[in-house]
Chain A
Amino acid sequence: MIKAILVFNNHGKPRLTKFYYHYPEDMQQQIVRETFQLVSKRDDNVCNFLEGGSLIGGSDYKLIYRHYATLYFVFCVDSSESELGILDLIQVFVETLDKCFENVCELDLIFHVDKVHYILNELVMGGMVLETNMTEIISRIEDQNKLEKQEAGLSAAPARAVSAVKNINIPQQIKDIKLPDLPHIGSFKF
């Protein structure tokens, strides 16, 4: 069973936190910090498995992590999960994100946290692996997005008008163009 899924950057800022076991909020933050400390110390050429920190359950739980560019994807699992299997799962998750966001980068995760959550909910449910087929997941996500857009159809007209007005803001557009090109997580190899 997966106990928690954490995504944070090289400085420890959380980009996605999903706990499948109840922890109070401050404990959740502490766990993120502790996990960051454990994982950031690891050299790049050591194995991807760690024993869990004391806050998350100690040696009964393992931290399986992958480091992509500026982000750490950490899955905290118990002993019933296969370590190598979870490594593959992380790979599938990131590949799905890549397909959904087109060359996903950290900024995408920052600004679309809810969408990342929806994708994750298709992959893992209640701590158990639900679906591993990328095409399947992506098609479902797209269906649901279409549904949302349909609903937003008429009632979103005012909102759309306002956003159109706002988007006339030229300085803002210039700022948008000038956004720095962050390295994308497109090219993953083993």
Chain B
Amino acid sequence: MLRVEMKITRNLTGGMPTPMRLRDLIRQIRAARTAADERAVVQKECAYIRSTFREEDNTWRCRNVAKLLYIHMLGYPAHFGQLECLKLIASSRFTDKRIGYLGAMILLDERQDVHLLVTNSLKNDLNSQTQFVVGLALGALGSISSPEMSRDLAGEIERLLKSSNAYTRKKAALCAFRIIRKVPELMEMFIPATRSLLTEKNHGVLITGVILITEMCSRSPDTLQHFKKLVPNLVRILKNLIMAGYSPEHDVSGVSDPFLQVCLLCNILFFFEQVATNTETSKNVGNAILYETVLSIMDIKSESGLRVLGVNILGRFLLNTDKNIRYVALNTLLRTVNADYNAVQRHRNTIVECLKDPDVSLRRRAMELCFALINGNNIRTMTKELLTFLEKADPEFKSQCSSKLFITAEMYAPSKRWHMDTMIKVLTIAGNYVPDDVVGNLIQMISETTPLHAYTTQQLWNNLTGELATRQPLVQVANWCIGEFGDLLNSSDGADAEPANVSLFLCEKSFLFVLCLTGVYFFSVFYPLIYLFFFHIRRIKKLIDIYGGNINIEIQQRAVEFSALVTKHNHLRPSLLERMPAMESKNPSGSALQNGQATEDELLGDSTSKDGPHESLTSTSDSSMFLDLLGGTSDIQATSSEVIKPTAPLSVSSDLLDLLGGLDSSTQVAPSPGCDPCVPELIMDGLVTPEEQKQTIPSLTAFEKNGLKLDFSFEKPVDNPQMIIILLSATNQTPTPMTDFLFQAAVPKTFQLQLLPPSGNVIPPSTDKGVTQTIKVINPNKSQLRMRIRISYNISGSAVQEQTEVNTFPSVIWE
């Protein structure tokens, strides 16, 4: 049978076997069982097609190109067919042209070189008598034209825009649209022809005409003016559409030509209410129109009545059973909630219901909308809903939701206690998905709310149950709180405190467990708990020593530090483990601690008032030493075996006041004996002009004795005129090194002082490179700075301590 076939074929077609038909090729490809089979079939056919292309055989070219396009869709390379497409386009037969243009649209694009060769054929076809040929050419032009092609053929398009054939006109309109996109300068050419597009009866022409006009208006405001006069025409068209009743050709589900309506609405300013009330919403098309109406209302800045109408329509959408409608409604509400807050509030309950929708994209939008709608009145109910939502939310929502909850709780919390409760709940529910900044901010907030310390700590302690591994942030916050306020766990001071009756045994169990998880953090808990369980210190120490050999370096380090602290440096313990003063809040909406509220008490690490900023941001050793320095040590140590009371003994503070009292008075206090301040001549004063902000301010030798020299050099930062940065440089002019160098300073009440950590505490001998330390001083009152400094170091085995006052700061630094 096959041989007979082949014989007949050969006789009829002069030897060349007929190429396979497209559908046979498709059948063969589908019959292939494996990808390799398919590839084999395709490659064989491609080779065949390539050879036929080379032989310039006209008869079957279109069939071959059709096969090539199919192969291309499957993903195989087909670029060798590009020239063939051109040849097909140049042919006179409609069939060839059709497949040729299709091939050109699929295989060619602006970046190919072959592209330009189409221009000539296009020109010829645009002038053809057959409307379909013209249509083909316009279609191709509208899809793949390049700027050069557009420029060449724009004239033809303009002519065709005025053609009497509706089919041609609408295609020409879209071509013009594309040309304007590619080559905006050609826009003027098309304006006169466009007006007449709108008077057409044919809806296709109307749609494309409106699209063209919209594009023109969006590109240039002049055209907008020009076309404004046409608006009543558009309105009339829309009105006819709505009122005309049933027209079978344009009907889609009972509404006449929704597409044109949608199109027109993008341009019309009036008639919204008519559309809204007359359009039936039971079908998708009605809703499409309403949706477009709402979008238009929101885009133009309508008066409020219209906007409320828009929001109400959206609210009705939300109750629709169709999820698509709900989606677009939520989307649009999100965009408009800022503008029409009150109107959207009315639909709050529906939005809250959407939180429980099975569709994830709806839930996400509902969540964002809920956050936008929270205010002081509805915070409690909304938060309850959102917490329920958080429990069931997907992981990607949890982190977003928890950080947003934190922000809104901070803004609108009715009471601090409610705030704490909510945040603890969030931490418990959201587990590991709480982002780090929430943890940080929460800790800072807790440290500020003094009366609730006991309550918070007890609540956190109670919540430390269950799956701690999945609640790291909760563990971290609880950890910090217990570390700071562990002594309050058993107390009943403060608002709503419930003594937790914690025993060491419980502590051990839970801490050991959590220790394995968060290792490092938990060590800090132990330090203050020493006070709580001072009697059991040996047991605790034994626990910690186990970790002294832990693989994790951090844990090991902390464990060793801890043991060392407990055994060797017992005297430092009390001061080291003092309660941290409340942290500055970083955001302006917080309790707004200004940088300038330090009193000299806080300066010296007195923990009487909790609202001062840190004196030194870093090494606690500085501050603890400072306490020793100022004679408070003995008093403080006496309280070591009980809970450290928040109020340090008053005697200490009075001492300190005395010490620094002298700095406030205008009379100079004689420096303590032994000091020999070396006052440099401020020779350079005259050379420094006040206007220069960052100019060289003369440096100052603050202290010089026994080979130790302290130099101050100054720098004024440009952004903060009240601050001066002092760079201390300590040099050793003796042949022996100085070790354990420590520098301390105190300033009068009106100033603020910040000591940054020194570069080291060993000053090598006889070099100019000693220890450097940065001191920041803020002088809001621009008064004269005076500083009392104390220096201590070890040299050749003996400890040296010096104290002096520096009054000779150059006044230019405060200009």
Q: Assuming A113-B70, A126-B178, A162-B12, is B98 touching A92 (CB within 8 A)?
A: no
For A94, list chain B residues within 8 Å (CB). Answer: none
B171–A130 touching, CB < 8 Å? yes
Q: Which stretch from B252-260, B307-315, B493-501, B549-557 is at the chain A interface?
A: B252-260
Question: In the complex where A25-B77, A132-B207, A151-B94 touch, is A47 in contact with B324 (Cβ < 8 A)?
Answer: yes
Query: Are A144 and B98 in contact, CB atoms less than 8 angstroms apart?
Result: yes
Interface pairs (11), CB distance under 8 Å? A46-B359, A47-B323, A82-B262, A87-B284, A111-B26, A113-B69, A114-B66, A114-B102, A132-B203, A144-B94, A147-B94
Query: Known: A47-B362, A130-B174. Contact between A114 and B204, CB under 8 A?
Result: no
- Asked if B285 and A88 make an inter-chain contact with CB atoms under 8 angstroms apart, the answer reads yes
Contact check, B26 vs A110: say whether CB atoms are below 8 A apart.
yes
Q: Verify B26–A14 contact, CB threshold 8 A.
A: no
Residues of A within 8 A of B (CB): 14, 16-18, 20, 22, 25-26, 28-29, 43, 45-50, 82-85, 87-89, 91-92, 110-111, 113-114, 117-118, 121, 125-133, 135-136, 140, 143-144, 147-148, 151-152, 155, 158-159, 161-163, 165-166, 169, 190
Tell yes or no: B384 within 8 A of A by CB: no
A-B contact count (CB 8 A): 175
Q: Could you tell me which B residues sit within 8 Å of A by CB distance?
A: 1, 5, 8-9, 12-13, 18, 21-23, 26, 30, 59, 66, 69-70, 72-75, 77-78, 93-95, 98-99, 102, 105-106, 109-111, 130, 132, 135, 138-139, 142-143, 167, 170-171, 174-175, 177-178, 203-204, 207-208, 211, 249-250, 252, 257-260, 262, 283-285, 287-288, 291-292, 295, 322-328, 358-362
| Cβ-closest 4 pairs across A and B | A84-B288, A126-B142, A47-B323, A132-B259
A118 interface neighbour in B23, B98, B361, Cβ under 8 Å:
B98
How near does chain B come to A70, taking the closest CB pair, in angstroms?
A: 14
Q: Is the CB of B8 within 8 A of A162?
A: yes
A166, B259: Cβ atoms closer than 8 Å: no
| Distance between A6 CB and nearest chain B CB, rounded to angstroms | 11
Q: How far is the CA of A166 from the CA of B170 in the complex (A)?
A: 43
Q: Which residue of A has the minimal Cβ distance to B248?
A: A135
Residues of B within 8 A of A48 (CB): 324
Which residue in chain B gives the minimum CB-CB distance to A21?
B109
A163–chain B nearest beta-carbon distance, Å: 8
- Quick one: which of B99, B142, B362 has the most chain A CB within 10 A? B142
Interface residue from A16, A25, A151, A158 paired with B95 (Cβ < 8 Å)? A151
- Inter-chain CA distance A91–B288, complex, in Å, is 13
Determine how close the nearest CB of chain B comes to the CB of A140; give it in whole angstroms.
Answer: 7
Docked complex Cα distance between A118 and B78 (Å): 20
9 extra interface residue pairs, beta carbon distance < 8 Å, beyond A47-B323, A165-B8: A50-B361, A85-B259, A92-B252, A113-B70, A113-B73, A121-B139, A130-B204, A151-B93, A165-B9
Residues of B within 8 A of A114 (CB): 22, 66, 69, 99, 102
Nearest residue, chain B, Cβ from A49? B327
Cβ of B13 and Cβ of A82 under 8 Å apart?
no
Chain B neighbourhood of A128, CB < 8 A: 142, 174, 177-178, 208, 211
Q: Which residues of chain A are near B139, meaning CB under 8 Å?
A: 121, 125
Q: Given the complex, which residues of A lie within 8 Å of B170, measured CB to CB?
A: 130-131
Cα-based distance from A92 to B660 in the complex (angstroms): 88
Residue of B nearest to A158 (CB): B12
Q: How far is the CA of A129 from the CA of B262 in the complex (A)?
A: 12
- Contact residues in A for B8 (Cβ distance below 8 Å): 162, 165
- By a CB distance below 8 angstroms, the chain B residues around A91 are 252
- With CB as the reference atom, state the residue of chain A lying closest to B326: A47
Q: How far is the CA of A190 from the CA of B253 in the complex (A)?
A: 10
Residue in chain A with minimal CB distance to B13? A158
Q: Is the CB of B98 within 8 A of A22?
A: no
List of B residues within 8 angstroms of A18 by Cβ: 106
- With A47-B323, A161-B12 known as contacts, the answer to whether A169 contacts B283 (CB < 8 A) is no
Q: How far is the CB of B808 from chain A (nearest CB, A)?
A: 63
Q: Are the C-beta atoms of A47 and B361 separated by less than 8 Å?
A: yes
A85 to B322 CA separation, bound complex (whole angstroms): 15
From residue A156, how far is it (CB to closest CB) to chain B in Å?
A: 9
* Bound form: Cα–Cα A123–B193 in Å: 23
Within 8 Å CB of B291, what residues of A? 82, 84
B94–A165 contact, CB under 8 A? no
**Once the chains bind, are B171 and A125 in contact (CB under 8 Å)?**
yes
In the bound complex, residues from chain A placing their C-beta under 8 Å from that of B94 are 144, 147-148, 151
